[in-house]
Every structure is written in C-alpha cells, then in structure tokens.
Amino acid sequence: MRNLLLVLLVAGCTAERPPAIDRDRVLLGPVPLKRQLAWIDSALDRVVAIDAKDEGAPSVHTWKIGRRPVFAAPTPSGDHVLVVTRGEESLARGQDDEDPILWSVDVSTPGSEPIAYPISSPFDRITVSVDSGIAVAYFSEAGPDAEGFFRNPNELAFIDLTQPPGPGNPTMKTIRSFGSAPSGIVLSPRMAVPGAGDPSERIFAFVLARNIVTIVDASHPDRDEVSIRLDAAGANVLPRELVFAPNTATAYMRSDGARDVLELVLINDPPGTSPTANDYHPILAELGAGGAPSDIAVFDSPSGLRYVLAATPATRELVIIDADTAQFRKVATPDPIDRIVVFPGGNEPATTAVLAQIGAPMPRVHSLSLLGIQDPLARLDLETIEVGEPVRDLSPVPGRDLAMMVHDDNRTVLGMLDVQYGSVAPLQGIGRLDTYAFTPAGDFLVGTTDGVPRLGMLELSNLHPTDLRLDYAPRQVYALANGALIVDHGDPFGRATVVPNTASGRKDAHVLSGFLLANVLDQESP
C-alpha cells in the first residue's frame, strides 16, 4: 500500500495528473511460462514478469504494450506471451488512436521490444500451434459487448509468429458460415498432404462450429477454406475434440450428437486456375465404433505406430483405432467409460491406458496393457482396480505411471494410483487441495489450501510429504519448467513467493511485494 500512496502523492503534486491513475485496472494472468510468471496490467499498458532464474535471486521485468488488453496466452515454447489489446479511440487528453493489436512479447529476453501485429478486430481468443510458429486470433462464443457497432464472429486473423508484421501478416479471413459461429479452433501439428503438389509440411486450422467443420491451410491462409457439413443425417452435431495422425494427414474427431468417431483425411486435390485455390480435399468417414464417443486419446506404441482410443459409453466398449489404416478393434468395458488416460504421458511410448467413469463416479478404474496392441491376434483384457472411493477426477503425473485420484468435490479425499502395480495410496491433508501442480519431471506434487499459509510438497517416488511455511495466504501455485515454484498471493499490487526448487527451505525462498508497480514512476506521461 505504501508504494501506491507514494504514486498518488507524486501525481497529486504535479501540474497534470497522469491518465494511468484514472484508468480502470484489470489484471490478466498470471500466465505461466518456462521460467517466468507474467501478468498483464491494463492501467499501465504493460506485461510484468517474475523471472525465476536458474541461479541467483528472481528478478522483475516489464514490457510496454498497447491499450486495453483483453486476452493473453503463452506460446507452447514457454518463452513468449501473446496479448491482444483492444486499443482505444482518442477522446481525451493523453489518448492516441490505437487499433487492436496482437503483441508477441519475448519474456526470456529482458529489454526486448514486443512485436505488434495489427489485427483490426478486438478478438478475445488465441490458439497457437504446437511449434509456436502460427497463431490464430478469433472471437469467443460470448457474443458482442457494449463497444463496437458490428461484430463478425466468423472473422479470423492468421499470424506467422516467425515473421515480422507486414503485408499479408497478419492475414484477415472470414470463413463461410451456415448460420453458426466458431466454438473453437484446433491447430494441427505440421503435416504434408500425400501426393499434393506442395510437399511441404503445413499447419491446418480446424474451425469447429455447430454442424460444421471448416479446414484452413494456416500456413497459406490466403488459400480457400473447405467446409464439411456434419448434419447431413439430420443430427445436431457439436464438435468437441480432435486428435491427429500427422503421418497420414488425418484427424479423428469426437462430437456431441455424432454416432461414431469421425475420421477426416486430407487427400490431394489438384488446384484449379484460381490464384487462391487450395490443393487438398477432406474425406469424412464414420469409423463404426457403434456409439457416440465420450472421450478419445492418441498414443504411439513402442513400435512407432499411432493409435486412437475412443470410449463409447452407450455400448460399454473401448475402440482401438490404427491411425494409419483406420482399422479398429473393440474391447468390452464393465462400466460406461468417459475418461481415458494413457501412461506414461509426454513423448514416451505408451504402455498402459487407465479408464474411468467420471460422470457417474464408481469406486474403481480399469487398466489395459498397450504393449501388444499392434498384434491383431493378441488378447486384450482389462484389469479392474478397486480404489475404495468413487473416482471424480483423474489427473496423470507427467512422464510417470502415476495418477492422482480425487474422490470428493472439495478435493479433501485423494489417492495416488500406481498404474504399474495397480496399487492405491491414500493422501491426507489439512484441508482442500484448492490449487496444485506437478513438477515437470513428475517427481513432486505441490499444492496449497486457501487461507492456509503453507506450501505442501509430496515426493512421488516414495510419497514422502514436506511443507514450507509461507508469510502470506496463497491463491495459486505454479511449477515452472526449470523446477522453480511460484506462489501467487493474489495481491493487486503484486505479491509472490519464489521457491528455487523442491529441495529449497524457507531460508532459500524469496518474497516479492509490489512488483506490479515496479518502475511505475518511470512511466512516460502521454
């Protein structure tokens, strides 16, 4: 509070009051990155990030961006944060006309200059490709707000983040509509269309809307899109989830209202004479799973083959699909499964799938070995694991054959499932596990409880618990890629505890207060 009072006193003694003092202040974030935690401040028009360095004390850095941020997202690489600012119309002293902009901020490099991509419309959602190379900005389903006269919900902005802004970057595009607006956008990994005249690996944007999927070549967004109607049979279909088999340019889709898993294969289609003609055509097929899928998962076997698992509760079956050939097998399940988790996660070949019924919780889960799945004659049997309490949530531990089970809505009754041995270890705590995170190596579970100034840590190799006393009550805990832990205390002026790693004690922790006002007196008054 002392820092804010100082700002106000200084502002009151000057001839002109800085406009930032009177602006409505909205904080976006925090946004977790590789080794930073970032906030976006709408009053001061900037990104503020705590850098939890690999060595030494943490530091705070700021980057200037445009007016009125509306959405922020990290890139998968973890070194950039993308921010959409709405801009403003000049109506008073200290204001300049500013259009909506997507800002790419390199938080890994203090003092770097944010890159501004003019996007013309105040989009409020961003999706980014897995290689952090392409971003698509679009409107959410929230509908129009009080500002602006017209809003085009089918307008998209395609941004090549590897290139500077300029003609054609961003590319603004309005996709054709059949009476519905996008409910989400999924970007594929890079994949080549077999036999196409363009042999390069490209990213495709799958734009999901009720009863329709639109596919855009996001690497060449000026080319024509292709739309696929999903309601030809009269059903009301809402796409929900996509998984990809990039080797064959194939996507598998789970939808509400669909009878089966839908397969979308991109095949070569020689372009016409139009300069914007594309060179692909999607083929839609039902895989004959026999029921509407409730969950799907994709994994690579030890032999390198990619498979898709689909749960169909209506038929009490698990469908196993060879992603390259679309051939499938079915395994009967004792319960109507609606959650599939494969182990271990990440880039390692999967060895086991765990199946659970979350919607109507049951006190058991089921395990299926995936080691012999490529053998069409191999016997596939489920193993039922009794866990004692109904399973309401199942959270896999990154890179390990472990999963945390939640047995009640308040997250007070927990268990740790060892997938390899089928054993369950109960976890007891001092209250609700309000926020938690797994360290990237999967060696610790860290968590906090609202109002309790402690950080709990559970070593997952032996389930040994420790805790660290905090000076302030926590709001959220984050485990960063470099092993650092940051506890956000929810102070509007900025307060966080940075713990270098899980082996650190209280003496090693750093408490940063007031960092959201860092260098505020150095802000230039317009």
Strands (E) in 370-451, as ranges, are: 382-386, 393-396, 402-406, 414-418, 423-427, 435-438, 444-449
Helices and strands (DSSP H and E) totals, the chain: 1, 40
User: Quick check: 94 pLDDT over 70?
Assistant: no
User: Quick check: 5 pLDDT over 50?
Assistant: no
Q: Which of 94-103, 353-362, 419-428, 483-492 has the weakest average pLDDT?
A: 94-103
With a CB cutoff of 8 Å and minimum separation 6, the contacts of 372 are: 378, 380
Matching CATH number, 24-174, of 2.130.10.10, 2.30.40.10, 2.60.120.1440, 3.30.950.10: 2.130.10.10
Q: Per residue in 15-55, pLDDT tens? A: 455 555 566 788 999 999 999 999 999 889 999 999 998 88
What's the pLDDT at 21? Answer: 57
User: Quick check: 274 pLDDT over 70?
Assistant: yes
What's the pLDDT at 471? Answer: 96
Q: Per residue in 107-146, pLDDT tens? A: 999 999 999 999 988 899 999 999 999 999 999 877 666 6
In the chain, list all ranges with CATH 2.130.10.10.
Answer: 24-174
Structurally, what CATH architecture does the domain formed by 432-526 represent? 6 Propeller (2.120)
What's the pLDDT at 190? Answer: 96
Query: What percent of the chain shows pLDDT beyond 70?
Result: 89
Residue written as token pair 């009794």: 386
In the chain, list all ranges with CATH 2.120.10.30.
Answer: 432-526
Q: Which of 258-272, 360-374, 454-468, 484-498 has the weakest average pLDDT?
A: 258-272
Question: What distance in Å separates the CA atoms of residue 469 and residue 452, rounded to the nearest whole number?
Answer: 9
- What is the average pLDDT across 491-513? 95
Contact between residue 292 and residue 258 where contact means Cβ atoms under 8 Å apart? yes
Predicted confidence band of residue 90 (pLDDT cuts 50, 70, 90): low
- Beta-sheet pairing, 101-106 with 80-85: antiparallel
CA 185 to each of CA 188, 257, 483: distance values in angstroms, whole numbers, following the listed order: 10, 19, 31
Question: What distance in Å separates the CA atoms of residue 294 and residue 256, rounded to the nearest whole number?
Answer: 8
